Chain A
Amino acid sequence: MEILKVENLTFSYPLCNRPALNDVSFTVQKGEFIALCGTTGGGKTTLLRLLKKEIAPLGDLSGNIYFNGANLNDLSAAQSAGKIGFVMQNPEQQIVTDKVWHELAFGLENLNLPREVIARKIAEISAFFGIEDWFDKKVSELSGGQKQLLNLAAVTVMEPEILILDEPTAQLDPVAAADFIAAIKKLNRELSLTVIIAEHRLEEIIPLCDKLLILENGAPMFFDLPRKAASAVKNTPEVLNFMPSAVRLFAAVGEGEECPLDVCEGREYLQNNFKNDLKTIEQTPYTHNQNPALEFVNVCFRYDKNLPDVLSDLTFTVYKNEIFCIVGGNGSGKTTMLSVAANIEKPYCGTVKVFGKKLKEYKNQSLYKECLSMLPQDVQTVFLKNTVEEELDGFVPPYDMQDLYGKHPYDLSGGQQQLLALAKVLATKPKLLLLDEPTKGLDANAKLRLIQILKDLKADGVTVVLVTHDIEFAALCADRCAMLFRGEIVSCDIPRNFFSSNSIYTTAAHRITRGYFDNAITVEDAAELCLKNGRRCGKDR
């Protein structure tokens, strides 16, 4: 039975000559899990918001949306609020009240339900999502992942028939994102709730979804089973970049077989179809500059006397003109390490040297003058002015931002904000650039662009130290990688050795090839080895 039907939907924003959505038609069956993907500015958010009439954008709209056979506009306010659930990107801003239980009750209060009913529904949903432990807590005490899970629970408690999610995991770290996606999967499988989810992070979503909808410039270019997507997007690199590693590998070397979707299927596909006589990729030896740019020697730091050490005896050296990536889980001290390097937090013992000079010796803010600069995790904190042009203040970044000059920094997309913030950081002409989670909220194409920018900066003689959760990104851009765990560096090497010696904390491409090839850590590596080895003959299989 179809729950949602979109017919010839065309939409344009006021004062825009190009429509944001162009003749979009599709139907969704009850209980289906639909993944929506596409490039930034491709109309994903516009489409999703049009499906929820309370927050639909204003503009010229033609075409029809039917929900359970009735036109969306004919739904009563209470029906529309309850039956269609919507979860947005930013976990913090969606929360209305200060207590977890009150947030869960908020939607039900709006529907004017009696106390007993609310109490029962809240109890049910808390048990389902396992949030009894933090039921009495203040919202401000929750982690980002818990906040987003609370948002999901607060919407689900209203018992929607369809759940719409607009990039819900973009602001979460990988572990929290996986938990969140698992919760959605549970809702879909156990309650047969219909789900439409827009995502950048398709590695986990694609193996779960029933259908994949790809929007390109406001028009649907693909709407079918995800297995068929590889051949459809093979020649559109901007879209192919979003796909999981297994699909990208298949797109590079596959020939008409069934497309693998996740790591498990990818391994099977690889071993059934390709030989592995040649196992290793030639590695040009890496030599770094001998002059250190950033040195940590036995640095210890804690936020409070009674709290445990965040950094304990941290010792490492970053050499001039390299891109140094520090990966690690939540709470491993990554951000704290950067704050200490930028002299924002002061360690209680140990020394930090920047270009051979102790931090203490940089007097009168001279550390921040053409020497060191840091891009914080929340890039919105970098902006102080009302337009991009004022923000740049005459500085011309090494990439084009001209057409955004008139806009307010807050109106830019996540990727554009990242670029603007980076430009502002570069305007101080740093020789040592510190980046905190630069890929947060970026889609695959924006990440590739960022990698190019960082490599260009390196060519100009800038040293880059970045901390990230995103191991795929680290594998692509780093000269050397280090893993931080409980405030200590536990391993440090060039990416190829670093990721191929890790067996769990490593890239999807390496997990696909591990044990079969020796040191393929990116999809490109894997594809190269596949092509060099050639296919198995029929009898080898």
Chain B
Amino acid sequence: MKGFKDHNPIAVTVYFLAVAGIAMFNMNVVIFTSLLAGSLILFFIYYRTKSAKTHLFSVVFFITMAILNPVFSHNGVTVLFVMNNNPVTLEAILYGCFTATVIIAVLYCFRCFSQIMTSDKLLYIFGALSPKTALILSMSLRYVPLFGGQIEKINKAQKALGAYKDDNILDTLKTGLRISSITITWAIENGITTADSMTARGYGSGKRSRFSVFRFCAGDFLLIGIISLLTIVTLFGIKDMKYVYYPAIVPPKTTLFGVVGYIAYALLVLLPVIYHIKEAVLWKYLRSKI
């Protein structure tokens, strides 16, 4: 029994590419609203109620965009009022709200993405493209925090040794420079040991194979199948989803393809949530049988 995020990283990446790709090339209110709704639900599933800051940012961002866009853009036919000899139009306000929704929806979407795609899953994706890159990435993922930690350690040690003799900026700067220079030396020294450890374990002795803890199984194929199907259906309806914002807002005509496309996209966006519910229900069911 697999939740959505336990699927093979390739399937998960395909999913996020499909969801974001359709939304990016299709500036449509319905599409974006469903993306925002889907991402928000998923976000609450993963983060619970912990991220008050993110939500606050979204609200502030939304209001700012809604106010700022009409200040700079005076396009549109419906003039609401005139400010400093510049017309403020309904279209500009709506367009501002709309762009804000787009950005917030994508933001939530990517927060969910980063929650699912941990560094080792990303590496797996890169490794599929090039094993060498994957190894370099894996090593840098280890080294960058190590390097930062060492700077911190040296800094503390030097402070207790009285390296920052006076409280003046020049002295602090000089010591700071010294510390970064010696940390580079330290990193190179470190690198030599690591290189020894690598050759000692046969790195560079020939062709490398690649191991990962992720497997590709039937469930992953099924997921990719569902994603492809929904994406294709959405793409069929895409020509009936064209919105015109300026000078006046003209929604596209409602057609069968369009409506089916909207439904398909909504399903696509809600797919992780559906998986999540399915998992919960299935678990309850299995438990009740035990």
Bound: A111/B194 CA distance, A: 18
**Is residue A154 within 8 Å, beta carbon to beta carbon, of the partner chain?**
yes
A102 CB contact (under 8 Å) in B138, B167, B196: B138
> Known contacts A110-B208, A140-B142, A425-B161: does B120 contact A94 (CB below 8 Å)?
no
Q: Name the CB-closest residue of A to B206.
A: A112
Contact with B along A92-108 (1 / 0, CB 8 A): 11111111011001111
> Known contacts A368-B161, A410-B189: does B154 contact A112 (CB below 8 Å)?
no
**Is residue A311 within 8 Å, beta carbon to beta carbon, of the partner chain?**
no
**Is residue B289 within 8 Å, beta carbon to beta carbon, of the partner chain?**
no
Q: How far is the CB of A413 from chain B (nearest CB, A)?
A: 14
Bound: A368/B157 CA distance, A: 12
| Interchain CB contact under 8 A, B208 and A112 | yes
**Interface with B: A193-201, A314-322, A374-382, A524-532, which one?**
A374-382
**Interface with A: B1-9, B37-45, B101-109, B178-186, which one?**
B178-186
Q: Is the interface of B mostly helix, strand, loop or mixed?
A: helix
A90 CB contact (under 8 Å) in B162, B193, B207: B193
Q: Name the CB-closest residue of A to B189.
A: A410
Interface centre among B185, B189, B200, B205 (most CB of A within 10 A): B200
B156 CB contact (under 8 Å) in A344, A385, A434: A344
Q: Name the CB-closest residue of A to B131.
A: A109
Residues of B within 8 A of A365 (CB): 162, 164-167
Contact with A along B151-190 (1 / 0, CB 8 A): 0011011111111111100000000001101100110011
| Interchain CB contact under 8 A, A97 and B208 | no
**Interface with B: A81-89, A219-227, A476-484, which one?**
A81-89
Interface centre among A92, A102, A385 (most CB of B within 10 A): A102
B182 CB contact (under 8 Å) in A113, A154, A364, A383: A383
Bound: A48/B142 CA distance, A: 28
| Interchain CB contact under 8 A, B142 and A95 | yes
- Interface residues in A112-141 by Cβ distance below 8 A to B read 112-115, 118-119, 122, 136, 139-140
**Is residue B280 within 8 Å, beta carbon to beta carbon, of the partner chain?**
no
Q: Name the CB-closest residue of A to B140.
A: A98
| Interchain CB contact under 8 A, B196 and A428 | no
Bound: A155/B185 CA distance, A: 28
| Interchain CB contact under 8 A, B142 and A380 | no
Residues of B within 8 A of A424 (CB): 161
**Is residue A228 within 8 Å, beta carbon to beta carbon, of the partner chain?**
no
Residues of A within 8 A of B206 (CB): 77-78, 110, 112
**Is residue B67 within 8 Å, beta carbon to beta carbon, of the partner chain?**
no
**Is residue A15 within 8 Å, beta carbon to beta carbon, of the partner chain?**
no
| Interchain CB contact under 8 A, A55 and B160 | no
Contact with A along B115-159 (1 / 0, CB 8 A): 000011000000000000001001101100110001001101111
Bound: A425/B185 CA distance, A: 21
Residues of A within 8 A of B209 (CB): 108-109, 111-115, 118
Bound: A217/B19 CA distance, A: 69
**Is residue B199 within 8 Å, beta carbon to beta carbon, of the partner chain?**
yes
Q: How far is the CB of A277 from chain B (nearest CB, A)?
A: 51
Residues of B within 8 A of A380 (CB): 186
Bound: A3/B181 CA distance, A: 46
**Is residue A400 within 8 Å, beta carbon to beta carbon, of the partner chain?**
no
Bound: A106/B200 CA distance, A: 11
Q: How far is the CB of A97 from chain B (nearest CB, A)?
A: 4
**Is residue A54 within 8 Å, beta carbon to beta carbon, of the partner chain?**
yes
**Is residue A449 within 8 Å, beta carbon to beta carbon, of the partner chain?**
no
Residues of A within 8 A of B24 (CB): none
Q: How far is the CB of B216 from chain A (nearest CB, A)?
A: 11
| Interchain CB contact under 8 A, B205 and A78 | yes
Bound: A105/B213 CA distance, A: 10
> Known contacts A93-B197, A376-B153, A381-B157: does B162 contact A158 (CB below 8 Å)?
no
The count of residues in chain A whose C-beta lies closer than 8 Å to any C-beta of chain B is 65
**Is residue B203 within 8 Å, beta carbon to beta carbon, of the partner chain?**
yes
The count of residues in chain B whose C-beta lies closer than 8 Å to any C-beta of chain A is 52
| Interchain CB contact under 8 A, B138 and A97 | yes
Bound: A344/B166 CA distance, A: 16
B211 CB contact (under 8 Å) in A82, A115, A382, A425: A115
**Is residue A504 within 8 Å, beta carbon to beta carbon, of the partner chain?**
no
Residues of B within 8 A of A77 (CB): 202, 205-206
Residues of A within 8 A of B146 (CB): 92, 140
Residues of A within 8 A of B145 (CB): 140
| Interchain CB contact under 8 A, B201 and A110 | yes
| Interchain CB contact under 8 A, B186 and A410 | yes
Contact with B along A41-56 (1 / 0, CB 8 A): 0000000000010110
| Interchain CB contact under 8 A, A108 and B211 | yes
Bound: A92/B119 CA distance, A: 20
Bound: A368/B160 CA distance, A: 7
B193 CB contact (under 8 Å) in A94, A139, A155, A344: A94
**Is residue A191 within 8 Å, beta carbon to beta carbon, of the partner chain?**
no
| Interchain CB contact under 8 A, B197 and A428 | no
> Known contacts A88-B196, A94-B193, A428-B162: does B156 contact A111 (CB below 8 Å)?
no
Bound: A374/B153 CA distance, A: 13
**Is residue B17 within 8 Å, beta carbon to beta carbon, of the partner chain?**
no
> Known contacts A86-B200, A115-B209, A383-B182: does B120 contact A99 (CB below 8 Å)?
yes
Bound: A107/B211 CA distance, A: 11
Bound: A155/B196 CA distance, A: 13
Q: Name the CB-closest residue of A to B143.
A: A98
Residues of A within 8 A of B194 (CB): 93-96
Q: How far is the CB of B197 from chain A (nearest CB, A)?
A: 4
Residues of B within 8 A of A382 (CB): 157-158, 161
| Interchain CB contact under 8 A, B202 and A158 | yes
Q: How far is the CB of B254 from chain A (nearest CB, A)?
A: 50
Q: How far is the CB of B202 from chain A (nearest CB, A)?
A: 3
Residues of A within 8 A of B167 (CB): 364-365
> Known contacts A102-B138, A373-B161: does B156 contact A155 (CB below 8 Å)?
no
- Interface residues in B51-93 by Cβ distance below 8 A to A read none
A98 CB contact (under 8 Å) in B141, B154, B201: B141
**Is residue B210 within 8 Å, beta carbon to beta carbon, of the partner chain?**
yes
Q: Name the CB-closest residue of A to B210.
A: A109
Bound: A113/B201 CA distance, A: 13
**Is residue A536 within 8 Å, beta carbon to beta carbon, of the partner chain?**
no
Bound: A264/B190 CA distance, A: 41
**Is residue B198 within 8 Å, beta carbon to beta carbon, of the partner chain?**
yes
**Is residue A342 within 8 Å, beta carbon to beta carbon, of the partner chain?**
yes
Q: List 22 A-B contacts (CB under 8 A).
A: A81-B199, A90-B193, A96-B194, A97-B135, A98-B139, A99-B120, A102-B120, A109-B211, A111-B209, A112-B209, A113-B209, A118-B211, A119-B211, A365-B167, A372-B160, A373-B161, A381-B154, A381-B157, A384-B154, A385-B182, A386-B185, A434-B160
A-B complex: 6 closest residue pairs judged by Cβ atoms: A81-B202, A368-B162, A77-B205, A107-B201, A374-B160, A93-B193
Instruction: With A95-B197, A122-B211, A339-B156 given, name 13 new contacts (CB 8 A).
Output: A81-B201, A92-B146, A92-B190, A95-B142, A112-B207, A140-B146, A158-B201, A344-B159, A365-B162, A378-B153, A383-B182, A384-B178, A384-B179
A interface residues with partner B (beta carbon < 8 Å): 52, 54-55, 77-78, 81-82, 86, 88, 90, 92-99, 101-102, 105-115, 118-119, 122, 136, 139-140, 151, 154-155, 158, 339, 342, 344, 364-365, 368-369, 372-374, 376, 378, 380-386, 410, 424-425, 428, 434
